[in-house]
């Protein structure tokens, strides 16, 4: 009976995991295509250059300046778009997991109902809240009711069964919250490294211009240095935003985990205290 509640839930989580993986595999090439199109047709539009000369003209705005960053720019733009898309996706998923109301207020209500011994009201509150936190708590409350009707186990065994059920429900819910966070974490390093690659490519061009016989071409030299700095700036920007995004979502997940742990502990302790007192009498 201890594993019964988790059986119908598992296929749903596998399906959700597969959906998330499919989403990730589609986002990456789509972001790359969009980045290339933006680089060619938006940033590279002649209106962003003096005299409309994309090859030799000076850029007149930021779009043209970024376009001067060279072929590494679309790759950095891909990283930036991926960071934005996955951040939005994680924001939606984590907010949905938190439920319809404030998590802290929900935990306080559940603890109040548990202190009153009103398990039905606590379960009804979970139905109102919805989300991953409420799902785990409701699973524990359901097991609570099952253990009250169980006559073949002692109080310690029942308490352990409730605790195990909450842990299993948590193990099913939490991976959904952490999916795709590894991609955002990877972009922290990848953005910096690709920006550094663009910097190196630009500096190679600059030194090549300096190595020419006679006086170096000042325009070509400044163009390559500009290319290097543009890639550096884009790489740093992408990495910085990825770090902020990753830390924000990690903090939100930790908050949900703490809420689950706190309420789960209350359920177990409430059952143990109330039923040990009954056993004495």
pLDDT value, residue 278:
56
pLDDT value, residue 7:
41
Contact of 203 with 224, CB cutoff 8 Å? yes
Where would I find the H helices in the chain?
A: 10-37, 62-67, 72-98, 103-116, 119-129, 131-149, 155-178, 181-210, 218-280
pLDDT value, residue 128:
93
Residue 177 has pLDDT above 90, yes or no: no
pLDDT value, residue 223:
86
Number of domains in the chain: 1
Mean pLDDT across the stretch 51-55? 86
Mean pLDDT across the stretch 108-123? 91
The per-residue DSSP string of 61-112 comes to SHHHHHHTT-THHHHHHHHHHHHHHHHHHHHHHHHHHH-SS-HHHHHHHHHH
pLDDT value, residue 217:
74
- Element holding 43 (H helix, E strand): none
Rounded to two decimals, the pTM is: 0.84
- Residue numbers of the domain that contains 208: 4-280
Confidence of residue 253 (pLDDT cuts 50, 70, 90): very high
Task: Tell me the percentage of the chain whose pLDDT exceeds 70.
Answer: 89
Range with lowest mean pLDDT among 36-40, 128-132, 207-211, 261-265: 207-211
Residue 219 has pLDDT above 90, yes or no: no
Residues sharing a CB contact under 8 Å with residue 186, sequence separation 6 or more, in sequence order:
none
């Amino acid at each position: 009976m201890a594993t019964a509640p988790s059986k119908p839930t598992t296929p749903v989580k596998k399906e959700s995991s597969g959906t998330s993986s499919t989403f990730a595999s589609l986002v990456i090439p789509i972001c790359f295509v969009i980045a290339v199109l933006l680089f060619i047709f938006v940033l590279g539009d002649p209106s962003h250059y003096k005299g409309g000369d994309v090859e030799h003209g000076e850029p007149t705005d930021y779009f043209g300046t970024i376009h001067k960053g060279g072929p590494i720019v679309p790759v950095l733009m891909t990283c930036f778009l991926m960071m934005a898309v996955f951040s939005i996706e994680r924001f939606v998923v984590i907010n949905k997991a938190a439920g319809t109301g404030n998590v802290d207020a929900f935990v306080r209500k559940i603890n109040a109902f548990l202190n009153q011994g009103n398990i039905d009201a606590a379960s009804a509150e979970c139905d109102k809240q919805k989300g991953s936190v409420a799902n785990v708590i409701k699973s524990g409350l359901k097991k609570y009711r099952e253990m009250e009707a169980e006559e073949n186990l002692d109080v310690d065994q029942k308490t352990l069964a409730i605790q195990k059920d909450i842990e299993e429900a948590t193990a099913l819910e939490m991976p959904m919250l952490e999916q795709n966070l590894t991609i955002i974490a990877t972009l922290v390093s990848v953005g910096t490294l690709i920006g550094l690659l663009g910097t190196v490519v630009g500096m190679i061009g600059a030194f090549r211009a300096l190595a020419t016989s006679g006086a170096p071409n000042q325009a070509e030299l400044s163009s390559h240095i500009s290319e290097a700095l543009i890639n550096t700036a884009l790489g740093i920007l992408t990495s910085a935003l990825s770090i902020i995004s990753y830390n924000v979502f990690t903090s939100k997940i930790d908050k949900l985990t703490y809420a689950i742990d706190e309420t789960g502990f209350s359920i177990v302790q409430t059952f143990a205290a109330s039923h040990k007192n009954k056993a004495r009498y």
